[in-house]
Amino acid sequence: MTTPDVRPSPGASRPEISIVVPAYNEAKVLPELLERLTRALEGNPDYEILVVDDGSTDGTLEFLRVAGERWPRLRYVSLSRNFGHQNALRAGMDVARGACVISIDADLQHPPELIPELIARWRAGVQVVLTLRSSQGVPWFKRQTATAFYQVLSWLTDRPPADGSADFRLLDRTVVDLLRGFPERSLFLRGLVPWVGFRQESVPYEPAARSAGTSKYSVRRMLSLAIHGITATSTRPLLLASVLGVLVSLFAVLFAGYAVYMRVVRGTAITGWASVIVFTGLLAGAQLFVTGIVGAYLGQVLQEVQRRPPYLVKERSGEGLS
């Protein structure tokens, strides 16, 4: 496939390649990022770099307003507040016009130098080019939690994302349009991309350290991404209540038999303060845990039913962003 499926919208010419960069308080790294992106894209006549300012408070937007003079391929949208990484990505996918869309983090942990390889694969006909980060150089805690999360996901779904896949990937316009057409409000892209199918390949890379600034993912945010990821990808945890119920009933039946045996054959009643307390405690814990799981799904359902937009735009760069 050479230039696949480009449908120019009236009045706006489509660039061939869109780079989408979600940025939350990344003013310090953006100049270097734009510089390296521009270098990596040399030789591609037709591309745009679309930075999504996700409600930054550190001057990211002020920088973007003037940076177009130095980097003419730069466009931006600015969201009305911080909507979170996934929603910022979605905003970027909505506004990007390219025949392929490459998403990349602002902090240079995703090396822009990998982009020519992604584009080469796309030109060879691959519609989804993923990247896989090798775990070397990733901080211990981040690596362990990420691996655990992907392990859980692979139990829960038949098409799990690969460990080490992040939001650094190329999607063909066909796939972008399909994903944008999904009715759900909260897209968990890492789970959905393996699910959509088409021709997919992955390219490995070594992650770099964050070039400046700090990670925007606190433990709380990581946990909430994980919960969202699971509830959006699989309904299997909802079966846990039934599984636990069967196990507990089985245990209760066996224990009842034992109690009857002791009373009838041995003539002794079992004294059992400890066993009663332990057993009730275990049951209460299991019930609350399962209720929590149901609650997580219920929350997700409520959000979907409310149908609020996943982000609001307050400002965008002038020309051409229709």
Binds ligand UDP (CB under 6 A): choice among 85, 97, 133, 169: 85
- Residue 189 CB contacts under 8 Å (≥ 6 apart), including other chains: 86, 89, 90, 167, 179
Token pair in block for residue 22: 């979600």
Q: Are 162 and 129 a contacting pair, CB within 8 Å?
A: no
Min separation Cβ 296 and Mg ion, Å:
26
Min separation Cβ 85 and ligand UDP, Å:
4
| Choices 33-41, 98-106, 120-128, 305-313; region in contact with Mg ion by CB under 5 A | 98-106
| Choices 6-14, 43-51, 105-113, 251-259; region in contact with ligand UDP by CB under 6 A | 105-113
Binding mask 228-267 for Mg ion (x = CB under 5 A): ----------------------------------------
The strand ranges marked E within the chain are 17-23, 47-53, 74-79, 100-103, 128-133, 165-172, 200-205, 313-316
Binds Mg ion (CB under 5 A): choice among 107, 207, 232, 317: 107
**Residues numbered 47-66 forming contacts with ligand UDP, rule: CB under 6 A:** 54
CA angle 110, 209, 141 (to 5 degrees): 105
Min separation Cβ 283 and ligand UDP, Å:
38
What angle in degrees, to the nearest 10, is found between the helix axes of 219-233 and 273-306?
80
Beta-bridge mates of residue 173: none
Q: Does 109 bind ligand UDP (CB under 6 A)?
A: yes
Q: Does 78 bind ligand UDP (CB under 6 A)?
A: no
Binds ligand UDP (CB under 6 A): choice among 215, 218, 249, 291: 215
Binds ligand UDP (CB under 6 A): choice among 15, 24, 128, 317: 24
Distance from C-alpha of 32 to C-alpha of 119, rounded to nearest angstrom: 21
**Residue 84 vs 98, nearer CB to ligand UDP:** 84
Binds Mg ion (CB under 5 A): choice among 18, 109, 131, 233: 109
Distance from C-alpha of 136 to C-alpha of 12, rounded to nearest angstrom: 43
Distance from C-alpha of 9 to C-alpha of 252, rounded to nearest angstrom: 66
DSSP state of 75: E
Contacting positions for Mg ion (CB under 5 A): 105, 107, 109
